[in-house]
Structure 1
Amino acid sequence: MFTAVVTDHWLPARAAHVPEEEAFVVVDPDLPANRAVSVVRMEGGPTIVAVSAGQAERIGLDDGETIPAVEATTRIAAAGVALNDPDHLFYLPVEEQEAVAAEGHGIHTRRLTADDAPAFADMVAAAPAHELDEAFVELDHWLVVGTFVDARLAAVGSMYPWGATHLADLGVITLPEFRGRGLARVTVRALSAEALARGYEPQYRCQLDNAPSIALAIAAGFRRFGEWTVIDS
Structure 2
Amino acid sequence: MFSPVFTDLWLSPYAQGEILHSDGAFVLTVNPDLDEDTPVMVLETLDGKVSVALTPEMAAAAGLKPGEDLNEESFRRHLGQAGIALHGADYLFTFLGEERDALLREATGDGIRQLTAQDAEVFAAFEASASEQDRDSAYVELDHWLVYGAFEDGRLVCAASMYPWNDSTVADLGVLTLPTARGKGHARRVVRAICRHAAGQGYESQYRCQLDNHASTALAKSAGLTLFAKWDAVFVEPEDSED
Scaled by the length of structure 2, the TM-score of the pair is 0.87
CA displacement at 1:66 relative to structure 2: 9.0
CA displacement at 1:44 relative to structure 2: 1.2
2:45 matched residue in structure 1: 42
Q: Given the alignment, which residue of 153, 158, 162 partners 1:155?
A: 158
Scaled by the length of structure 1, the TM-score of the pair is 0.90
Q: Are the counterparts in 1 of residues 45 and 229 from structure 2 also a CA contact under 8 Å?
A: yes
2:167 matched residue in structure 1: 164
Q: How does 1:58-207 map to 2 (within 5 A)?
A: 58-61=61-64, 67-207=70-210
Indicate the percent of aligned positions where both proteins have the same amino acid: 43
Question: What is the distance in 2 between the residues matched to 1:45 and 1:65?
Answer: 22
Q: Given the alignment, which residue of 10, 25, 28 partners 2:28?
A: 25
Question: What is the distance in 1 between the residues matched to 2:65 and 2:142?
Answer: 43
Question: What is the distance in 1 between the residues matched to 2:190 and 2:9?
Answer: 26
Is residue 3 of structure 2 the alignment partner of residue 3 of structure 1?
A: yes
Task: Please tell me the residue identity of whatever aligns with 1:188.
Answer: V
Task: Please tell me the residue identity of whatever aligns with 1:128.
Answer: S
After superposition, give the CA deviation of every residue in 1:158-182 in whole Å (9 maximum; x if it has no partner).
0111112221111101111111110
Task: Please tell me the residue identity of whatever aligns with 1:9.
Answer: L
Question: What is the distance in 2 between the residues matched to 1:28 and 1:178?
Answer: 45
Across the aligned residues of Structure 1 and Structure 2, the Cα RMSD in angstroms comes to 2.2
Question: What is the distance in 1 between the residues matched to 2:143 and 2:66?
Answer: 39
Question: What is the distance in 2 between the residues matched to 1:142 and 1:178?
Answer: 25
Q: Are the counterparts in 1 of residues 109 and 189 from structure 2 also a CA contact under 8 Å?
A: no
Q: Are the counterparts in 2 of residues 19 and 45 from structure 1 also a CA contact under 8 Å?
A: no
Q: CA distance change for structure 1 residues 66 and 138 in 2, over 3 Å: closer, same or farther?
A: farther
Question: What is the distance in 1 between the residues matched to 2:159 and 2:85?
Answer: 33
Per mean C-alpha deviation after superposition, the further-off stretch among 91-100 and 77-86 is 77-86
Query: Aligned with 2:202: secondary structure?
Result: coil
Structure 2 residue runs of 5 or longer lacking an equivalent are: 17-21, 237-243
1:56 matched residue in structure 2: 59
Question: What is the distance in 1 between the residues matched to 2:54 and 2:108?
Answer: 42
Q: CA distance change for structure 1 residues 45 and 199 in 2, over 3 Å: closer, same or farther?
A: farther
Question: What is the distance in 1 between the residues matched to 2:23 and 2:55?
Answer: 24
After superposition, give the CA deviation of every residue in 1:49-102 in whole Å (9 maximum; x if it has no partner).
111111122224468999433333233223321111111111111111111111
Q: Are the counterparts in 1 of residues 39 and 235 from structure 2 also a CA contact under 8 Å?
A: no
2:239 matched residue in structure 1: none
Q: CA distance change for structure 1 residues 150 and 228 in 2, over 3 Å: closer, same or farther?
A: same
Is residue 202 of structure 2 the alignment partner of residue 215 of structure 1?
A: no
Query: Aligned with 1:163: secondary structure?
Result: helix
Q: Are the counterparts in 2 of residues 19 and 46 from structure 1 also a CA contact under 8 Å?
A: no
Task: Please tell me the residue identity of whatever aligns with 2:93.
Answer: F
Q: CA distance change for structure 1 residues 148 and 232 in 2, over 3 Å: closer, same or farther?
A: same
Q: CA distance change for structure 1 residues 107 and 85 in 2, over 3 Å: closer, same or farther?
A: same
After superposition, give the CA deviation of every residue in 1:2-23 in whole Å (9 maximum; x if it has no partner).
11112111223859xx766x22
